[in-house]
A and B are shown apart, each in its own frame.
Chain A
Amino acid sequence: MADKLVVTFGSTHQALKAEDIFKELQLDFELIPIPREISAECGFALLVNYNDTAEIKKTCDKKKIRFSGIYEIQINDGEKYYEKYY
């Protein structure tokens, strides 16, 4: 299980909506430029310091946040990669 997740969005509007809701839920996160390795839709993503991918998905669904992907940041042989879960 990874410590960090990246949530991506189709539009800026959805990214900012997620930012509002994650703030309300007091999640530890930041708005980041979309990682190069992830095929970009909206130019931003949320980097969340949280390890429960399923829980984040549930939160997004419940709050009607339309994300385009949830990725776990994994390290393999010292190399960082993004594994898509949803």
Chain B
Amino acid sequence: MIYLDNAATSFPKAPGVSEAVKDFLDNTGANAGRSSYSQARQSSRIIYQARKLLAEILQVTDEERICFTMNATQALNIAIKGLVKPGMTVLTSGMEHNSVMRPLRWLESNSQVKINQFSLLNDAERWQQKLAEKPDVIIVSAASNVNGMILPFEEIARNAKKYRIPVILDAAQALGTLPINGNDFDIVCFPGHKGLLGPMGTGGLYISPGLEPESLFQGGTGSRSSEEFQPEMLPDRMESGTANIPGIAGLKAALEFVLKTGINEIQRQKQHILSLLIDGLVTINEIEIHGSLDPTLNAGAISITSSTMTISELALVLDRADIATRMGLHCAPAAHKTLGTFEQGGTIRLSPGYFTTEFEIAETVRILKEIHRGR
């Protein structure tokens, strides 16, 4: 199989991840943060060390302001529902995933929240103007999950600071691939299983000092057990219930790999593979690329359509050729509307990863050429 669905989840995982998960399940196994016997301590230490490694990747010093979640969606729900209050206006981009849009639409329906979107393609709808209207909160993706487009998230955050508008960064497609400085944002939400190369069921958010969003749900934390009220301190406030410790053990191994390899090196390698893919695709006349042809503006996904085949026909032949891609709207109708690919049902997304080889790209291009030649 040629796996080009890394925007959904990375595969393969970083070396050492599956061993760490197995080792935890076979040899440690205890719950964390609740007891002080040796295996329980080991569990607590795994979480502690993973948190420290995440702080290093996010370039922040306040490790305990990084809270573990099941995924980026849970992190985004904590961030969005924690910061956006009834009657507020939210500014977001036209490239967002439903993990941003659905919580926002829910708030719009249930608590009179107003959503304002900026376009990155239409000059009249620029973020600079929309930001000057002083929204209450800004939510922006670092990169699109549909076509890999890197958004001007750093510039937006810098400008938002001038107006003191809090910025939530959805780093789902970016952390582990692009350097991200957590100090530049109010909240950064991320998955552990995409660019960070860890197992599914891991993710988190970094909450900058001074910001105290409420917990989405409450429960046991192992701390302040005498009280029936949720503890206020982080990370405990956001981490009720038993964590996915096998997953976090795997994530820890993945983070060690990412840090050892270096995010700049990962980015360089991904750009190299993307440039080979783009160079190959542009030689096929029937294929249209929906996005920039510059790999340095892309975090790792290419969206294509064919002039001679529907996306479902194309997806079927790619499936049969054992090339794993994702067809459709990619849980991002807003982005497809922006790109003009919504009505046709979306695109085929090819998302290589750090471990994708030059040979696999050449094969993919060869097969796409063959498919089109045969028609």
Contacts and interface: CB of A to CB of B under 8 A. Distances in A.
Interface in A35-77: 39-44, 66
B48 A43 contact: no
B222 interface: yes
A13 B226 contact: no
A14 B44 CA distance: 11
B344 interface: no
Given A33-B36, A42-B223, A12 B48 contact: yes
A10 B223 contact: yes
B336 interface: no
A13 B41 CA distance: 11
Contact of B36 (A14, A44, A66): A44
B224 A14 contact: no
Interface stretch (B22-30, B229-237, B367-375): B229-237
Contact of A43 (B51, B64, B225): B225
A13 B224 contact: no
A43 B63 contact: no
Q: A interface, by DSSP: helix, strand, loop or mixed?
A: mixed
A5 B224 CA distance: 21
A41 B223 contact: yes
B48 A11 contact: no
Contacts, number: 56
B35 A33 contact: yes
Given A13-B63, A16-B45, A43 B226 contact: no
B32 interface: yes
A13 B234 CA distance: 9
Contact of B222 (A16, A32, A39, A43): A43
A84 interface: no
A interface bracket (residues with beta carbon within 8 Å of B)? 10 to 19
B33 interface: yes
A51 to B, nearest CB: 23
Given A11-B64, A12-B32, A13-B64, A31 B48 contact: no
Contacts of B222: 12, 42-43
B225 A40 contact: yes
Nearest to B223: A42
B225 A13 contact: no
Interface in B7-51: 32-36, 41, 44-45, 47-48, 51
B33 A12 contact: yes
Nearest to A45: B36
Contacts of A32: 36
B41 to A, nearest CB: 6
Contacts of B51: 13
15 contacts: A10-B233, A11-B64, A11-B223, A12-B32, A12-B48, A12-B236, A13-B51, A17-B63, A31-B36, A31-B41, A39-B226, A41-B224, A41-B231, A42-B223, A43-B222
Closest 10 CB pairs of A and B: A12-B33, A16-B48, A13-B64, A33-B36, A10-B233, A42-B223, A44-B36, A11-B236, A43-B222, A12-B44
